[in-house]
Amino acid sequence: KYLFLDHITALVTGHDGDERRELDRIMTDLASMVRELKFTLFLISHLSTPDGKPHEEGGRVMLKHFRGSRAIGQWSSFVVGLERNQQDVDTEARHTTTLRILKDRYTGRSTGECMYLGYAPETGRLTPKDNCPFQDETGGESNVIF
């Protein structure tokens, strides 16, 4: 019923051909298989290096950052990006992850929404936070959903 592929970019690593074309083909095949066999597929993808603020310093994730192919964003029904400033000197900021919904094909209402997750070192778990004391790079706080 649920399948996790961690990560899709590993399927084309070392491939002799064009990585982008191979990812296009794989995404098309996976989308067809999901529809035919009626299961949910969760894909993990590497990110390309963005212009501007690096992802490891909390740079905002966009659909175009998924490595290798736009097909990942085109074929996916729901896309989530995780953002965190791993380099922040403040421990709370370093342990706060923004979960940003980049695509919601079903209703479109969730696209752009965010929620915040706090990392608890004592348990190793991420738990929802009521709000985020840190602003995103546009200077304003994003929406919080639960």
From 14-18, 88-92, 108-112, the region with the lowest mean pLDDT: 14-18
What's the average model confidence in pLDDT over 82-101? 92
Which of 91, 48, 92, 96 shows the shortest CA–CA distance to 69?
48
Q: Strands 40-44 and 2-6: what pairing?
A: parallel
From 10-19, 25-34, 97-106, the region with the lowest mean pLDDT: 10-19
Residues 82/71, Cβ–Cβ less than 8 Å: no
Residues 60/137, Cβ–Cβ less than 8 Å: yes
Which of 68, 107, 106, 65 shows the shortest CA–CA distance to 82?
65
What's the average model confidence in pLDDT over 93-118? 93
Rounded to two decimals, the pTM is 0.81
What's the average model confidence in pLDDT over 79-96? 92
